[in-house]
Amino acid sequence: MIKRVEVNYRGIFQKSLGKYLGSDIVMIASRMGKVAFSNGRYSDSPERNGIPCKYFAFVAEDLSEEELEAECGAKLDIDEADVSVVVDDTMVKGVEPWGWHGVRPINEKVHEKGCLLVITRHQPEDLLKFIAKKPYPYRLATLEGDASLAGMWVFKDDLTRERVLGAIAAVDPGIISIEAVEAYLLDKTKDARRAGAAREAYEATLRRVRLVKPGEGINWSHPVPVLPKWHEFEDTGIAVPAVPRGFKLGPRGQGRNDRFKRGTTKTHRPVIRFDLCIECTLCWLECPDGCFDPTEDGLYDVNYEVCVGCHKCAEVCPEPECIVMVDELRFENDRSPWEHWVRDPQGYIRWAEEKKGKERVHFPVVTGTGREVREGTYVPPKLSGAETPA
């Protein structure tokens, strides 16, 4: 029997983390006398920042190395996973890998006895608000943590690698045992703290496995693209129809091609306090993906379907608290924030402040410092005329 682990990670930022986890599983399983091997989904490999990608590890006890590779190594993707690890919880909203696959549910590959293991600070119930229903029961385990940059070349070692190994041992000891994880980490690093982190995560995860019932979750709204047969498309090479030239003011007013959305790329999204905007145009000018739509009142709406959460607008915005990056999991939809603001300015400001919460996430330029969380400040609404609250 072959055990299959997939690690869902964010391209570039978590690339090394994904690969290291793959190699670690192979090394640990080999030390346990099993046959193992690891690869990545190659079409993911020309990664761009934040693109959802996958790394795989395969473990077997009763197969030769060649049989294992023939079964698993000659394929681009897996049919089912024993454990699907998610090292950035915002990917539970669906992953749109490179290419023409559409937005796929994060638990797509998890089989009936399998486990979806998410590194998150959210509750399992909150995650299930975004995860597709399955016709059979499966397990959802959560391990407390952030979307780690451990493994990136500017990494801050936060022991995520060790903790995930411990958590995998907890949800499926048939892949790697916690004893083997500890022994491996001790031998490799001579650092008891690392083996300890794995053990701690192992014990914590054992207490945080939840059975997801059949039908629990959401109806998946994203269609799966159907790839045409060779004689079903024009024989002039691949060409994607362009959008009409020109634009109009207002939400979705700029021509964007629906075939090139990359919304599942983001871990954070910009929340805009339109009342604080000084109309400096910088967010609109600097956005690398052209996500900001100028509106007739001189403001800039943002299209979350195409925003990849790069943080640039928030960095260039000169007004404190006007554009703040917020955890993508706090949002249920991609609707226009400007329309909300026009409809109900006070309600919008309350909504925006509630979403923003108290913490502001930054990624300092200095290498090796990881991410930084600061306290935000509350700026009272600046509403003109009759709209000013009493």
Partner 1 sequence: MKQTETDTAVLDQRLAAWDRKELLNGCQAVAQGVRLADVDVISAYPIRPYTEVMDALSKLIADGKLDAEYIIADSEHSQFEIVKHASSVGARAFAGSSGTGWMYGFEALVVTATDRLPPLFLVGNRALDDPGAFGVEHNDAMALRDMGWLLCWATTAQEALEHVLIGYRVAEDSRVRMPMALAMDGAFLTHSQHMVQVPTEEAVARFLPRYDLGPRRLHPDNPISIAPQVNEDWVMELRRQNWEAARRAKGVIVQAYQEFNEIFGERYATPFFSEFMTDDAETVLIGVGAVAMPARTAVRRLREQGRKVGYIGLRWFRPFPTEELRECLSRFRAVGVLDRNFAHGSPDCGGIVLHDVRSCLYPLASRPAVVNFIGGLGGRDISIADCTRMLEITGKAAERAGDEETVTWIGLRE
**Which residues of this protein are in contact with partner 1, per CB under 8 A?**
22-23, 26-27, 30, 37-40, 42-43, 45-46, 65-67, 69-71, 73-76, 227-231, 237-238
Of 207, 149, 116, 190, the closest CA to residue 15 belongs to 149
Query: How many residues are there in the chain?
Result: 390
Q: Shortest gap between Cβ of 15 and partner 1 (angstroms)?
A: 12
Pair 323, 317: CB distance under 8 Å:
yes
* CA torsion angle 177 180 181 182 (round to 10): 120
CB nearer to partner 1: give 60 or 317.
60
Strands 2-10 and 323-327, how do they pair? unpaired
Residue 164 neighbours by CB under 8 Å, 6+ apart: 21, 85, 87, 117, 119, 143, 201
CB nearer to partner 1: give 108 or 286.
108
Task: Give the side-chain half-sphere CA count within 13 A for 343.
Answer: 8
Q: Shortest gap between Cβ of 227 and partner 1 (angstroms)?
A: 6
Of 91, 85, 75, the closest CA to residue 175 belongs to 85
CB nearer to partner 1: give 40 or 217.
40
CB nearer to partner 1: give 40 or 309.
40
Q: Shortest gap between Cβ of 367 and partner 1 (angstroms)?
A: 16
Q: Which residues pair with 167 in a beta bridge?
A: none
CB nearer to partner 1: give 65 or 344.
65
Instruction: Determine phi and psi for 29, rounding to 5 degrees.
Output: -65, -40
CB nearer to partner 1: give 46 or 214.
46
Q: Shortest gap between Cβ of 38 and partner 1 (angstroms)?
A: 5
Report how far residue 371's alpha carbon sits from residue 357's, in angstroms, rounded to the nearest whole number: 17
What tokens appear for 353 in the block? 């402040």
Report how far residue 351's alpha carbon sits from residue 348's, in angstroms, rounded to the nearest whole number: 5
CB nearer to partner 1: give 26 or 323.
26
Q: Shortest gap between Cβ of 226 and partner 1 (angstroms)?
A: 10
Q: Shortest gap between Cβ of 110 and partner 1 (angstroms)?
A: 22
CB nearer to partner 1: give 76 or 242.
76
CB nearer to partner 1: give 75 or 374.
75
* E strand map for the chain: 2-10, 35-40, 52-60, 81-86, 110-120, 138-144, 209-212, 268-272, 292-294, 300-302, 323-327, 359-362, 372-375
What tokens appear for 241 in the block? 């129809």
Residue 365 neighbours by CB under 8 Å, 6+ apart: none
Q: Shortest gap between Cβ of 370 and partner 1 (angstroms)?
A: 23
Place of tokens 């599983």: 25
CB nearer to partner 1: give 69 or 286.
69
Q: Shortest gap between Cβ of 4 and partner 1 (angstroms)?
A: 14
DSSP secondary structure letters along 57-81: EEEESSS-HHHHIIIIIT-SS-S-E
Q: Shortest gap between Cβ of 197 and partner 1 (angstroms)?
A: 22
Q: Shortest gap between Cβ of 177 and partner 1 (angstroms)?
A: 19
